[in-house]
Structure 1
């Protein structure tokens, strides 16, 4: 699908399969989500802008590559997004963090906002939005819309699983925002869950129902 990158690295796919298994424990699910987030973060940051800096190694002076521009922002769609956020911060500990509180109305399936906190000057930063599931995409669309209203212009979206319906909805609303996912599943069921999926990522991560 145009604008969508499927990260099909063998380690990502192996860990995702274990996460899908309903018998995987909460502790294992949480650990695997953190591990996968590191691998996804490598892919979504592959084209970061670089410059060079003069440094002294123990042997000589050299021009060494270094990231250019302001620190990037990870924007977590609460609460499940925090599972991806934790792993990505291990890889990029200097990143800024935004939190977007959204929940899905189980009757309408629409996203309802209850919290938003983000760094200033988003227009000068790459913003990577993280949420494990791109199902109906209502939450993802709402989160990106809110970030754009606050000035963000360079955004990417990262998820574990995506449904074709969610991708179509998201890319129609935000065609300028690339999507990175570990897998595109079959479809949504009547309750708006991804099939075959892995269940509710937040519940499985935190051991709630």
Structure 2
């Protein structure tokens, strides 16, 4: 609840996005579930603990953009790669700002950040079943 503790009068949304590997090195992003309040014309803060490739963040944005349009977007992440930042800048609107605490330089062949944090989604929400 880190961001919700800081922005304690904000509404919140939940979007479930995950990787589904087609091969050990290739994957697709699935946006499976979205629960949002009215978001049209509001400032969006989209957070993800780690931005490895940026594919999940772009998939989430595209899913949300089909439903509503923001006045401005902030992206917040603990760790990102330069690859992810460039990919996000390419696919998000110009009114987007990206905030990251650290940049890791290496991705594995499976597109995981090195050293990273492990699977942050599983650590935060439990293993996918």
Give the TM-score category using the shorter length: 0.7 to 0.9
- Residue 104 of structure 1 is matched in structure 2 by 19
* 1:166 pairs with 2:84: yes
Q: Any runs of at least 4 consecutive aligned residues in structure 1 with deviations exceeding 4 A, and if so which?
A: 206-209
- Residue 121 of structure 2 is matched in structure 1 by 202
Structure 2 CA distance for aligned equivalents of residues 123 and 206 of structure 1: 28
| Unaligned residue ranges in structure 1 (runs of 5+) | 1-85
| Unaligned residue ranges in structure 2 (runs of 5+) | none
Task: Give the count of matched residue pairs.
Answer: 123
Cα RMSD between the aligned structures? 1.8
The structure where helix makes up a greater share of residues is: 1
Q: Secondary structure at the match of 1:178?
A: strand
Q: Secondary structure at the match of 1:202?
A: helix
Structure 2 CA distance for aligned equivalents of residues 119 and 182 of structure 1: 28
Deviation for aligned residue 1:149? 2.0
Question: In structure 2, which of residues 106, 112, 126 is the aligned counterpart of residue 187 of structure 1?
Answer: 106
Deviation for aligned residue 1:205? 3.5
| Structure (1 or 2) with the larger CA radius of gyration | 1
